[in-house]
Structure 1
Amino acid sequence: MPKILIVDDEAIFRKGLQSMIAAWDKDWDVVGAAKDGIEALERLEELRPDAVLTDIRMPRMDGLQLQKIAKERFPEIASVVISGYEDFAYVQQSMRHGSKDYLLKPVEREELGRVLDQLKAELLQRTPEPVSAEERNEDMLIRQHVTEHVASGLLQGSVHPEDMKLLQRIGIDFDQPYFTCLVIKLDKDSVDRERYSHADPSLFQLYIQQFVQEVLDNRASGLCFVISDTEVVALVNLADERESKIELLEIAASIRRQIRSLSNITVTIGIGTVVEGAQSIPRAYHEAGIALLYRLIVGGDKVLDYEQTAKENQFKSGIKKWSWEALEQAINEGKTDEVKSIVETVIQDLCRIAQTPEAVHQQICKLLIHYYELAEDLGITKQWLRQTDIRTLLFDICSISAIDELVEECRKLLGRLTAGIAARGRNAERDPIEQSVRYLERHYREPVTLKEAADRVFLNQAYFSSLFKQRTGTTFVERLTELRVAEAKRRIAMTDEKIAVIAEGTGFLNLRHFNRVFKNETGFTPKDYRERVKQETGKH
């Protein structure tokens, strides 16, 4: 007896179809019904029907998405779609994805009977092919394991050339020079709490992964995979650094809008910086995760770009500046007792001037995110946070409503961080000037200012300028110019980009300024420099 599952968001249609099937052929067993694609996936897992009869337009997960996921997870299940005349374009897509047939609303008894008879005949004619089925499942498993293994390795920076060849063998070829990462998270508050608690969380992640992969297939080169029950990651391969980033932001915004429109759930997307070479992918992944942390501060259902988000949410407040500088200095110097004392002053000042409790929580979260990035750089995050991850920590902080409790928790956290730094000993990476140099190396393309750099390490602008020259032998502006000109020389020599594009892409105000600075630094105009390189390398 063949089994069938009915999927439609309107109860009256579900019951009507069930009655029509029973009246047409008693052999058909309607084993269940579902009101949308997500519920249908649960039923498919539980009931394993021979066929599924699904509407196309449904909330949360439509029939097309259901069909794609079902085809991957349950390839033996036949599907038939139902649509209105205005949805025929969707029907065509569905047929391309393997739908056996389609029915137009309102469903006519004879048409339904024709489809049921045809399906029944095909099901009865099926001959068991245990070997080929096993081989097919094995191929799918191998592909899945290879993808997950290599993708995980890329995020961690532990991929070998042989692993990349494995990806090529299964049709994934990262042949462009630039990469970035998107981390996509379901906003749980966009899903009914009872519904989420009763569903398999992996179904939501799988839906997001399938949706993002389809968008990437159409608009970019990339691989999307589920990394945990709460996190989906997209690794995107890009041909151009600047222009591709603009397009990537548009793609991410489109993903967010379409998921909300089609499934009535929302996601927040963190985007890392565009990096060159597969070896830099871990940095892009880490930055995408940092960007996503700001969801707690700015809210969900957003695209959060690391560079822009970090810049807009630098830790600033109306607190006396000496308080933050004193705290930063005490932490840098490993003075645990002094840190605990300053923390009390800082938080009491913050609570006194903040207009709302949310403002207090936001400022403290920004501070903790700032120190989380530094702890990651030092490799002492586990020692600092112990068994807690940064996301849980931030949520816990936002649940505290008493000043004394907030002071005590921050004393404990920043005291432990300071102790970890002290135990690690003097470290160049924690030095404010080394930290500033690393910041310049990542952001020299942007309009970075001396004041901005000084603020990031909580130092007075004049003192920072003097200390920078003393420690590096060059002024801040000289170092920034050196980085910009070095990148400009590389792009002039290695690409055919227009000089004006290179000037803009390396942080210069305008072409005239670029030409003047470049000649001062190299002795050549940009055009003459390109010609000289061509002559030296034999390119004519």
Structure 2
Amino acid sequence: MIKLLLVDDEQPILDGLKHLIDWPQIGVSSIQTATNGRDALAVMNNFKPDVIITDIKMPFMNGLELIRTVKEELPDTKCIVLCGYQDFEYARQAMKYGAVRYLVKPVEEEELIEIIDDIRESMLNTNQEKERLEDLNRKLIESEPFLRNKLLYDIVSGDIADVQDVSGKLNRFGIEKFPQKFVCAVLEFEINDSLEGFTEEDSELVRFGVANIADELICSKTNGHVFYMLEKQVIMILDVSNSNPHILESLLRDMIYQISRYLNILVTIGVSSIHNSIEDTPKAFKEAKSALRYKLLIGWEKVINYNDVASDINKGIIIPISVWKKLENSIITGDSDSIPDVVAELFNELRSLKGVDPTELLDKCRNELLVIRRNIEVIGLDDSLLKSFIDEFDQKMYIVTLEELEVRFIEVFQRLAREICQTNNLGIKSVINHIKQYIDQNYTDNITLNTLAEKFYVNSSYVSRLFKEELGENFIDYLTGKRMEEAMRLLLSTEMHVYEISEKIGYGNPKYFSQLFKKYTGMSPREYRDQK
């Protein structure tokens, strides 16, 4: 039977959905409701729904954020999106995040029944397939090392409700007692393809080697347990009852050195604060993983202590929009030569941020990449390369460092700028048209190439060349022409003095204005006026 969660900020819609069809008749055994994404998460934690039907636009947490969180916490839960015709772009984004279907309001009974039937059939097939695979693999996985790893992993991940009741199981694997005073450390490694040695296909073998080296070093200095379940992570519970922090730090640094030396891989370790009860292991594990996220800012080959970064978690981040606009305009104008400097400026800004949460920082970067992609798409340029990069970013955003990300930014955006330059000049035309419009409206101001470069986030020498190529004259000639045309109009239509006209059109020096005017018209301002 299916458990269903309905989420919408409009109570009439929730009530309508609850009574739209005979839910038990189509296999729905229980229904819960929530009026926004945040409340839905609270319900979800206890209710564990099989299916969620959610609106998109809601307060506190919208439907897109809810779906993304659901996919992380309950990956088997199926999400259905409610949207209006005008919300189709949101629906498409929701499908990317993992929604299986979308419904256009008002919801039709027959369509909803069909979707639930499809999901029920899919769940049935999935469960049958899972049962078949579990039966085939049972004899393979029921080995002592695997069960020991899984038991310890279940303890630290909080999947065992009563951890005080696992002493018998621990004894089975030679673990007589759990440390009374301990830290949890999570070691993450990455196989460096640029170095000779292992490849990505050797991940399982490398993980086994990492665990063995870690176990040997721990046994030589203290007591502890080493285990793993995730592909590129090894987890350690370290007894610190008789150790001081300096010994622990030295042990973990030596571990990084030995593993890097013998296996030729990149390693970083996140370490929790000290805890005193087996019931705190999930908290300690979470702390170690939180510390590990700071690899983005700190880099590989480091021991990162949770206590050193805890105050930074969930702090707000502000990245100047001007840096992102420079990157965007360098791309759409095809200025590939400026990309390395612009990217370097961006990442210098990122490195200068103090006390930031890496997750928040990566989310900010992703959002800005989406803005750039949308703006590229709006002016008719091919955004497929950037779309692929954003997909890659989503997959790898939590395992990279800023240095690695900077190199990738330069590679992708230089290639994108070159492709745009070779295949289309729509981006160039868009920027030049905006610059031309700005000059037309503000030619009386003190406008320079540097002014335009700062205003439109482009390189000054590059915009000078583009201006000449697109309009057939250089920037200063175009600006002078606009000013002279206005001066001619004022000389013929007003009684303003020459010095007043000079000042009005942007020249503080009347003599210089008169020289330019004569060069432009062949006459002095007075001669030009006298001819009317």
TM superposition score normalised by structure 2: 0.36
Structure whose CA Rg is larger: 2
